[in-house]
Amino acid sequence: MNKKFSVVIAGGGSTFTPGIVRMLLENLERFPLRTLKLYDNDAERQGILGEALAILMKEQAPEIDFSYTTDPEEAFTDVDFCMAHIRVGKYAMREQDEKIPLNHGVIGQETCGPGGIAYGLRSIGGMIELIDYMEKYSPDCWMLNYSNPAAIVAEACRVLRPDSKVLNICDMPVGTLRRMSQIIGKTPDELEVRYFGLNHFGWWTSIKDKQGHEYLDQIREYVAENGYLTTVEVETQHTDPSWQQTHKKAKDLLAVNPRYLPNTYLKYYLYPDDEVSHSDCSYTRANEVMNGREKEVFDAARTITEKGTAAGDEFHIDSHASFIVDLARAISFNTHERMLMIVENNGAIANFPDDAMVEVPCIVGNDGPEPLAQGKIPDFEKTLMYQQVMVEKMVVEAYVEGSYQKLWQALTLSKTIPSAGVAKNLLDDLIEANKDFWPELN
């Protein structure tokens, strides 16, 4: 394993970037780097993090060539992997995604319902632009995309860039598996799962250790009482209160459908009224993040730059993001890693459309992911999934065709919106808020 890799992080000004950089440094033995570049279209925002990370890199890995730029040619020339976490419109637009729907009595959430649709429509152009830069300047490069909202972004890539080397993956199942492992006193590495669904919309059907022992019933008993919330998270990881509520809510999701273990995001589709009643229109998750993580990360960067050293450990390490390295290694070294990926169905779920982008376990090697067959799924889950996947498909069709009608239909079809009338009023407000980002709709 002598090869050293060149990586560009797209979305260099993201609050997640320092944690990802530190995670990459922690994994250099498994995934050696020769070059690490940050790319963003916001020079000022990226510059604050870039300056601090340059100090960190010089101190901790001087042998790696580190740079940050807003020039696509510089960023994408001679790279093996593009790690993409972009947020078109930044947190200011996320705030709109959450607050506009709440003003209509509908859930306001970053990736689900009307907020997710608004964010998805902003993200498609940005993702396609990145793919085109990557293919122009480094045709052999792979994109590892973990940008939200992953479902709409993955469907857009399927439709608009079907032959591109884009791998869509989400950290949510990784986080939930970590909690499941805490419940049964194991580590995630010791467990192998079966799962089917769409992104942020699925169910675990099996959680086994390497000896083949099934833990589904044991975890289900725990979740029926506590949701996925574990004492480890509350006492040692100080998880945000809003996330604690989300993990607790899995208890109610399990009550509706005790057959399998649910993805926590299903709460927005199965209990939207609860979510709205517990939401504060004037202070949403976007405000929590802007006043919390965003402030902390940029303050830490300024501290490092002022001191001229990163020795104070101001940037937290995002160890949980090491799944990105697992994925890059699988592609580079043909490791046949088993991972949950968002892929075109093509029979993986036997009784679901072939052209649906589904989230299932895959074996990943040099040629990308090979989905594992999950067989036929029950009617309850299948019907929920079909409704949701049609929303995602119609959003992408609306983007491609510039169709107001299709987007209105997509919103009307969403389980989070009570009527076509509410959908239309919401759509008109979202169009106004997103006029700098969305294509023109007729």
CA atoms of 121 and 72, how far apart (whole Å) = 22
CA atoms of 17 and 380, how far apart (whole Å) = 39
Distant-in-sequence, close-in-space partners of 15: CB < 8 Å, separation ≥ 6: 289, 293, 294, 297, 298
**For this structure, is 273 an active site residue?**
no
**For this structure, is 428 an active site residue?**
no
Which two tokens mark 272? 């939207």
What stretch of H or E contains 310?
A: none
Give residue 382's identity as a one-letter amino acid code: K
CA atoms of 21 and 80, how far apart (whole Å) = 16
User: Could you identify the residue written with the tokens 């709109």?
Assistant: 96
Catalytic site residue from 40, 171, 318, 326: 171
Catalytic site residue from 265, 268, 269, 399: 265
Give residue 145's identity as a one-letter amino acid code: N
Q: In the chain, what is the greatest distance between 2 CA atoms, to the nearest angstrom? A: 61
Give residue 381's identity as a one-letter amino acid code: E
- Are 341 and 370 within 8 A, CB to CB? no
Q: Which residues pair with 203 in a beta bridge?
A: 196, 262
Give residue 317's identity as a one-letter amino acid code: I
Give me the active site residues, please.
171, 265
